[in-house]
Structure 1
Amino acid sequence: MNNSAGIDKVITHKLQGYQNNSSNCLFRLYIKYQTMKTINLVMMSDLSKTFRHISILILLAALSFISCKKEDDQMEPLIGDAPDFSAVTLDGKQLMLSAYKNKVIVLFFFGNNCPSCKAAAPSVESMLIEPFTSRSDYQVLGLDQWDGNSASVQAFKDITGVSFPLLLNASGIAAKYQTTYDRLVIIDRDGSIVFSGTQGAANDIATVKEKVEIILGPQDEIKGDAPGFNLKSLNGIDTKLADFNNKVVVLFFFGYNCPSCKAASPGVQSNLVVPFESRTDYQVLGLDQWNGNQASVEAFKTVTGVTFPLLLNAAGVASDYKTTYDRLVVIDKKGNIAFSGKQSASSDIAAVKSKVELLLSGK
């Protein structure tokens, strides 16, 4: 048996045993070896067989490193105490995980130019941010595992439209968490990792939302005195809750581009505004919980046709009222919260109308 035949026999014997396991790294190398050997024979036919096989062995060693590295280096997701970290946000602020003590935190590890991350980000916003905007015990953070500069992360923010903080140079943090980009991680109030995704973020969003809801639990309903506020209206007028003392007030918290809010608005107008137009002791106010600019709220007004005042930058007020967008709140003449909706505004319009009629009747 010559040297080249011996090399062939040894390599083939060692690798063919893995053919029945297509996911095994060595079987993949066997296929690559046979392919490279064939190519080598064609391209280097003027060289000796021994030299050809030495070349193949060198290529095989390189392929072994390349093909197996990702599989062998794949880490089990970290569960247990969440490692603390400090990173700089896109707006240049230093942020530490410990600043969110006693809060539920979702970490979205992304790559600044990762297509699947860009595709997942709007759903992270709509499913993991918007439903929880009234919660002061919850936070979502985005961490750039690709270590892009501020311009590339700003581009990611602009393209995806996300509102949560984005942290720069987070590859080291991802390593601590034994994860990678396009992944979601949940940290509970005790600082423990209770979920660490092993698939694309888009595939885990529904699961993460469900887990967050369970961990957060129901939010206490605010009762008693209605928190005061002072907001700019769409036409630039300072509008205070105190301006409506001794009146029944309905607050319609909306999002300027929220489809269900747009759908509910004509019902708010026809059921909660028009029937009470002659009353001087009654007022409906719309509050943009999405903090849109004047143009976006003007567009909402144009599309919905509402006539009641729309107030800007009301996310903080919604938090004070422990509510969110697409909700109705009723305040009585004494300044007490008489009703705070827990479902969509359209579902509560009839109940709110009955409550308003009762309060205006003086009963």
Structure 2
Amino acid sequence: MSAMTRPRPRVAAAAATVAAAALVLTGCSSSGSSSSGEGQVGFVTVKGTNLSKADAGKRGDAPDVSGETLEGNQVKLSDYRGKVVVLNVWGSWCGPCRAEAKNLQAVADEYKDKGVQFLGINTRDTDKTNAVRFEQEQGVSFPSIFDPAGTQLLKFPKGSLNPQSIPTTLVVDRDGKLAARAVGGTTQEALESIVQPVVAEQQQ
């Protein structure tokens, strides 16, 4: 009997290890691979980049992600309705996240007086201390929702401008609709190229 039951925990543990490794490998990526049926929802991938955008009038609603921030405050995306929101999905364990952090903060500083709010979703960090340390080391000042299990990411509908890897940065327009996406680590220039047009269209 014991010979029959012993392998099962080992098999389960091995399966869990493989699944966790797959999540990390597919999640933390600087590539821009995408298979979300972009044509169906009216958005296009910018040639030669990892950026996608949706024209006004063809944008889907962003889910009202919410939760407790790393600082212990409650926040939800709809709190910022009327502003352009840059939503960054990241983890302290992710190399591309570390590489892009200062770029995100630079754009946040540049656009903070132009009706733009940055909001992070910290995911797959089981220990909040690691995420807080990451923010301190990288000089990140905007709030981030602590979402270790990725439950907020599951709110994004498939076939939309949804997060497809970690990091992913989304631009939400003033009407709460998904306007643009950068998959993988982004540069300051690339991020501004999708933020600035959304800011400008609201000023026309």
TM-score normalised by length of structure 2: 0.68
1:293 to 113, 127, 145: 127
Q: Give 1:130's aligned amino acid.
A: V
In angstroms, what is the RMSD of aligned CA positions?
A: 3.1
Q: Give 1:275's aligned amino acid.
A: E
1:276 to 102, 111, 114: 111
Residues 151-170 of structure 1 aligned to structure 2 (within 5 Å): none
Q: Give 1:243's aligned amino acid.
A: D
- 1:52-104 CA-partner distances (Å, limit 9, x unpaired): xxxxxxxxxxxxxxxxxxxxxxxxxxxxxxxxxxxxx98xxxxxxxxxxxxxx
Q: Give 2:146's aligned amino acid.
A: L
Task: State percent identity of aligned pairs.
Answer: 22
Residues 189-200 of structure 1 aligned to structure 2 (within 5 Å): none
- 1:219-270 CA-partner distances (Å, limit 9, x unpaired): 3457510011221011111101110011000011001211111111011112
1:293, CA displacement in angstroms? 3.0
1:131, CA displacement in angstroms? 4.6
Question: How many pairs align?
Answer: 164
Query: Take 2:35 and 2:78, find their aligned partners in 1: how far apart are those partners?
Result: 30
Residues 13-92 of structure 1 aligned to structure 2 (within 5 Å): none
2:20 to 125, 136, 142: 125
Q: Give 2:100's aligned amino acid.
A: A
- 1:160-185 CA-partner distances (Å, limit 9, x unpaired): xxxxxxxxxxxxxxxxxxxxxxxxxx
Q: Secondary structure at the match of 1:325?
A: coil
Larger Cα-atom Rg: 1
What's 2:84 paired with? 248
Query: Take 1:241 and 1:124, find their aligned partners in 2: how far apart are those partners?
Result: 30
1:219 to 27, 31, 36: 36
1:132, CA displacement in angstroms? 4.7
Cα pair 1:253 1:326 within 8 Å, conserved: yes
1:291, CA displacement in angstroms? 4.2
Q: Secondary structure at the match of 1:129?
A: helix
What's 2:141 paired with? 307
1:334, CA displacement in angstroms? 0.8
Q: Does 1:330 align with 2:171?
A: yes
Q: Which has the higher contact order (CA 8 A, sep 6+)?
A: 2
Higher normalized helix content (fraction of residues):
1
